[in-house]
Chains A and B, each alone.
Chain A
Amino acid sequence: MEIHEGAAAAGDSVLDFSRLNLNTFSADSVSDERKRDTKQLYLNNNRLASLPSSVSVFCNLEFLDISNNGLTAICEDITRLTRLKTLIAKNNRLDEFSLPKEFGSLQLEVLNFSGNRFEEIPLEFMKLLRLQSLSLGGNRLKSIPAEIENLTSLELLYLGGNLISAIPPEVANLPYLSYLVLCDNRIQSVPPQLTRLHSLRSLSLHNNLLTYLPREILSLVHLQELSLRGNPLVVRFVKEMTYDPPSLLELAGRTIKSRNIPYSPCDLPSNLLRYLDLASKCPNPKCAGVYFDSCVRHIKFVDFCGKYRLPLMHYLCSPECTSPCSSNPQSDAESEDESSVPADRLQRVLLG
Chain B
Amino acid sequence: MENTEVVKPETLDELIKILHEIFESDHINVDEVKAVMEAYESNPQEWKQYAKFDKYRYTRNLVDEGNGKFNLIVLCWGEGHGSSIHDHTDSHCFMKMLQGELKETQFEWPDSKSQGDMVQKSQRILQENKVAYINDSIGLHRVENASHTEGAISLHLYSPPFQTCQTFDQRTGHRTTVKMTFWSKFGERTPFETTVSQENN
CB <8 Å contact, B56 and A179 = yes
- Known A-B contacts A138-B148, A224-B56, A308-B169; the reply to A204 vs B197 at CB < 8 A is no
- B113 contacts the other chain (CB 8 A): no
CB <8 Å contact, A158 and B79 = yes
- Known A-B contacts A229-B170, A350-B198; the reply to A160 vs B84 at CB < 8 A is no
Cα separation A137 to B149 with both chains bound (whole Å): 7
Find residues 103-160 in chain B having any chain A CB closer than 8 Å to their own CB.
116, 142, 147-149
**How many A residues touch B, CB cutoff 8 Å?**
36
List A contacts of B80 (CB < 8 A).
Answer: 137, 158, 160-161, 181, 183-184, 204
Q: Which of B149, B171, B174 contacts A138 (CB 8 A)?
A: B149
List B contacts of A161 (CB < 8 A).
Answer: 80, 148
Main secondary structure of the interface of A (DSSP, over half): loop
CB <8 Å contact, A226 and B201 = yes
Cα separation A158 to B78 with both chains bound (whole Å): 11
How far in angstroms is the closest Cβ of chain A from B113? 14
CB <8 Å contact, B148 and A225 = no
List A contacts of B116 (CB < 8 A).
Answer: 235
Q: Which residue of B lies closest to A228 (CB)?
A: B201
CB <8 Å contact, B148 and A229 = no
- B69 contacts the other chain (CB 8 A): no
Over the window 113-149 of chain A, the binary record of Cβ atoms lying under 8 Å from chain B Cβ atoms (1 yes, 0 no) is: 0110000000000000000000101100000000000
Q: Which residue of B lies closest to A226 (CB)?
A: B201
- B1 contacts the other chain (CB 8 A): no
Cα separation A181 to B56 with both chains bound (whole Å): 10
Q: Which of A90, A115, A352 contacts B171 (CB 8 A)?
A: A352
- Known A-B contacts A158-B148, A183-B80, A184-B148; the reply to A350 vs B56 at CB < 8 A is no
List A contacts of B176 (CB < 8 A).
Answer: 305, 307
CB <8 Å contact, A350 and B55 = no
CB <8 Å contact, A114 and B84 = no
- A39 contacts the other chain (CB 8 A): no
- A106 contacts the other chain (CB 8 A): no
How far in angstroms is the closest Cβ of chain A from B194? 10
- Known A-B contacts A348-B196, A352-B201; the reply to A91 vs B174 at CB < 8 A is no
- A309 contacts the other chain (CB 8 A): yes
Cα separation A309 to B169 with both chains bound (whole Å): 10
How far in angstroms is the closest Cβ of chain A from B171? 6
- B4 contacts the other chain (CB 8 A): no
Over the window 69-92 of chain B, the binary record of Cβ atoms lying under 8 Å from chain A Cβ atoms (1 yes, 0 no) is: 000000000011010100000000
Cα separation A204 to B148 with both chains bound (whole Å): 12
- B185 contacts the other chain (CB 8 A): no
How far in angstroms is the closest Cβ of chain B from A18? 13
How far in angstroms is the closest Cβ of chain B from A290? 35
CB <8 Å contact, A352 and B84 = yes
List B contacts of A156 (CB < 8 A).
Answer: 55
Cα separation A179 to B80 with both chains bound (whole Å): 12
Cα separation A296 to B148 with both chains bound (whole Å): 38
Q: Can you report 24 residue pairs joining A to B where beta carbons are below 8 Å apart?
A: A90-B149, A91-B149, A114-B149, A158-B80, A158-B148, A160-B79, A160-B80, A184-B80, A184-B148, A224-B197, A225-B197, A226-B201, A229-B82, A229-B170, A229-B201, A235-B116, A307-B169, A307-B172, A308-B169, A308-B174, A348-B197, A350-B84, A352-B84, A352-B200
Measuring CB to CB, which residues of chain A are less than 8 angstroms from any residue of chain B?
90-91, 114-115, 135, 137-138, 156, 158, 160-161, 179, 181, 183-184, 201-202, 204, 206, 224-229, 233, 235, 305, 307-309, 347-348, 350-352
15 additional A-B pairs beyond A225-B201, A350-B197, beta carbons within 8 Å, are A135-B79, A138-B148, A160-B80, A179-B56, A181-B80, A183-B80, A184-B80, A224-B197, A225-B199, A228-B201, A229-B82, A235-B116, A307-B176, A308-B174, A308-B200
